[in-house]
Amino acid sequence: MFNQLKARFGGPLSVGIMALIAVWLIGMVILPQLLMVDYSFKPNLLPSEVGGLKDQYTLDNYATLFGNSIHLSIFFKTIWSSVLVTTLTLFVSYPLAFYLAKVATPKQAALCLLLLIIPFWINEILRTFSWYIILAYKGPLNALLLGLGLIDRPVRFLSGDGGVLIGMVYAYILFMIFPIYNAIDSLDSNQVKAARNLGAGWVRTHYRIIIPHAKPGIATGCIMTFMLAAGSYAVPALLGSPGSRWFTQIIYNWFFEGGDWNQGAAYAFLLLIICIGFIGLVMKVFKVGLGDIAR
């Protein structure tokens, strides 16, 4: 990487760029994570007790999660729901990404991309709250369905996890579309035409030609969507019911309501471990490396 920067910008500027990257990685990524890990292995003590006999490393903060059946069930539900959000977002995004890359004219693609991007100029909380209004018991969606005669009574979309799933798919769809779009756009259209001319149907063409080429983009989109969904707080807080709590809400409560940063750090670190494990699993399933994802 340094040699590429040196060839493009020269030696002094390349050193400065690498130094800024190193400062950012160390100061904003590595050190905060190490501090979180250190907090997670220590008990929550009064200021006067810090450095005393009780200030020792322990696994009690981690044992709290595995000893609390409610928190443990929410933890696994969050992981499963994040996988479901990722899957739904992939199914919604792939056809749209293919349309933008290989079917739409440049003007149509530009217009579609603009329509996708414009809503994201608004703050995430406001966009999420707009879905709260749309999905409300007496909201416009229920009014439309009642007016069309598709339902007999209003549906409580916000009573379970349905509203959270819809809100997350909408909130993170761009993080799935753009990597897949970039991957499919780099595919030579002659390969698709050749497959079609040789008698392959669209399903076989996608399975044998397009999806294998787009694997790095699909893997990148799945990783980004899963991590954003698993770490989301605003969407489940606004669209979720009391029975559909997200694990991030429990972490927030430990930090800011319970005042137990050590316990919150342990919960956050476990969530981070799961996210890292998911990244490894996706890379193994799609048979891609970090270099393929970073392209």
Taking only the tens place, the pLDDT of each residue in 42-74 is: 888 777 777 777 778 888 889 988 888 889 999
Return the CATH number of the domain spanning residue range 68-294: 1.10.3720.10
> Between vectors from CA 278 to CA 272 and to CA 284, what angle results, nearest 5°?
145
pTM as predicted: 0.85
> Which pair of structure tokens corresponds to residue 132?
């709260």
pLDDT at 13 over 90: no
**All structural domains of the chain with their residue ranges:** 68-294
Specify which of 34-43, 81-90, 241-250, 251-260 reaches the highest per-range mean pLDDT.
Answer: 81-90
Taking only the tens place, the pLDDT of each residue in 86-107 is: 999 999 999 999 999 988 888 9
pLDDT at 39: 85
Mean pLDDT score of the chain: 85
pLDDT at 293 over 60: yes
